[in-house]
Structures are given as structure tokens and as C-alpha cells.
Chains A and B, each alone.
Chain A
């Protein structure tokens, strides 16, 4: 009897491990930034390159930091979701135009709509490295104290907005700065 039970148990354990492995997304790397202060930047604005936006300017408010580029296909899929979120005016949305051409980026916003309060330019990808960006689009939620509270890798879906983003934003808006 034992002769059959042992291989069966071993097989069950192996099957559990394989099932878990199959359901993991290897591109979903846990960000070391959660609950850490957001990396500091000061970068030129996309629409007004002579002006700069820095992290200090955003102290005291909850903001989304969305990494996007005109060459990024998934960003196109995500864009209507951001437009919808912007319409609700629930949160400040800052865009990081990552390794992009300013002209292409501006055209992209003109034709698809601009959900960003401000987009800043990161042409050589240095701000991206500071924020640990490796797969565009990525979205960070930063609280009033300038601490990163959540990170999405890949396009934000309408479900994620309803179930995760909006509740978290509401909670963070209620916190003291």
C-alpha cells in the first residue's frame, strides 16, 4: 500500500509546485520601493521645456506617477483608462515621458488625449533607473509625505482602477500630510 501512496504524495507535491510556478508572472518583480520615499527628480516639462517640475513641488498631495512613451504599445492600451481616471479628478497624475522624442510624445497626447497634469521628460532614462523602471508602462502611487505606496507594472486596467487604485487614493487623501 505504502508503495503507491509515497509516489502519489510526491506527485501531488510536485504538481502543487508546478501549478504555482505556472501562475507566477516572471515580469512582476516586487519593487523595493514600496513604503520608501520616492526618488527625487527635477526634470523639464514636456510642454514647456524651460520649466522644471521637481518632487518637492508635489509635497502635500497624493499623486500618480505614470511612466509612458509614444513607442510603447501597452501604453496605448492603457491610455483610455488614464483619460477616464483624469476625468474624475480624483488624483494628480504626473507622466514620465520615458526615453522618447518630445515631438512624438506631444503628437501622441494631441491625438489620444492628455490625462496628465504635467508630463516630464526623461530622454536618457536616468529618472527611470532611479525609480527602478524596467517595463513601460509602470505606475506608482505616492502619498502626501512623498512615500511610494503602490506600484503597477504593465498597463493599468479598469478593474485595477476600481478595485485597487481609487480605494487607495481615497484612503491616502484622508491621511495627514
Chain B
């Protein structure tokens, strides 16, 4: 029963804020959808203005819609928002000195990780087999000795 409820929860539709804006053409609607999904709601910072029901998000959606109606391009609207709220408002911030760490950080971590793995595995490979050969030879000799002892015991 609990499992069933869990799956029912998974089925529940994603709820977005709903506005009743009328668009002139499908391109305009597409531009609107893409803008509201990449502008951050500054009140609830982990949501886009398209996801959020905060009042500020609704106001910003209205702003986006009105600017599209005035014939402004997506770039114009993004510029309008960053002029007022800074790069933080963009979920996809531009690459520049201030955001460099944000963009390059993961690459640097990956590189460091790969280097660590490489060094670690190489060291293991060079150290272990040498040890093993000597150790194995010893064990093999011991086993042989045991076997021959047994054989002679049985025969007697």
C-alpha cells in the first residue's frame, strides 16, 4: 500500500504558475516560455520565475510578456533583467571574470580527480605485482612441498 502511494505521488503532474497571456504567434510564446524558464525568481531563489507563485515572479512574468508584446528581443529582455538584478537573475550566466570560478570549477575538480585516480592506480600497479611474484613463488613452493609429503605418506 505504501509503495502504491509512493508511485501515485510520482505520477502527480508538475505544477507551474498559470497565467492567461494571449500571444500573437507561436514564436512569441516560445520566447516567453524560454525566458521564464531561465530567469531566477529572486524571492525563492531555487525556482525560475516560470515555476514560482511569488508575487515578484508574477510581476516579472508580466514584464517579460509586455516587453515581448512591444517587440523586444530575448536578448533585450535578458539585458533589462540583468541591469536591474545582476547576473544572479540568469540561470545561465555569461562567462566572465566574475563567474569564471562558477564555470571552470567543475572542470578543475574533474581534472584533479582524474589526475588523482591516474596517479593512484599507476602506483598500485607498479608496487603490487612485484610483491606478488615473490610471495606467490614462496606459496607455490610450500604447496608443492606439502603435496610431495602427502604423496610419500600415502605410499608408505
Which residues of A are in contact with B by a Cβ distance under 8 Å?
Answer: 26-27, 29-33, 99, 124-126, 128-132, 134-135
With A134-B43, A135-B42, A135-B43 in contact, do A29 and B85 touch (Cβ < 8 Å)? yes
**Which B34-89 residues have a C-beta within 8 angstroms of A?**
42-43, 45, 55-56, 59-60, 63, 82-86, 88
A132 to B131, CA, bound (A): 67
Per DSSP, chain B at the interface is: helix
Question: Which residues of the other chain, B, contact A132 by a CB distance below 8 angstroms?
Answer: 84-86
Other 8 A-B pairs with CB < 8 A, given A129-B59, A134-B85: A30-B88, A32-B84, A124-B59, A125-B56, A128-B59, A129-B63, A132-B84, A135-B42
Question: Which residues of the other chain, A, contact B60 by a CB distance below 8 angstroms?
Answer: 129
What number of A-B contacts does a CB cutoff of 8 Å give? 37
With A26-B45, A134-B42 in contact, do A125 and B55 touch (Cβ < 8 Å)? yes
B109 vs chain A, min Cβ distance (A): 12
Question: Which residues of the other chain, B, contact A29 by a CB distance below 8 angstroms?
Answer: 42, 85-86, 88
Identify the closest chain B residue to A32 (Cβ): B86
Query: Could you list 18 examples of A-B contacts with CB < 8 Å?
Result: A26-B45, A27-B45, A29-B42, A29-B86, A30-B88, A32-B82, A32-B85, A124-B59, A129-B60, A129-B63, A130-B84, A131-B84, A132-B85, A132-B86, A134-B42, A134-B43, A134-B85, A135-B43
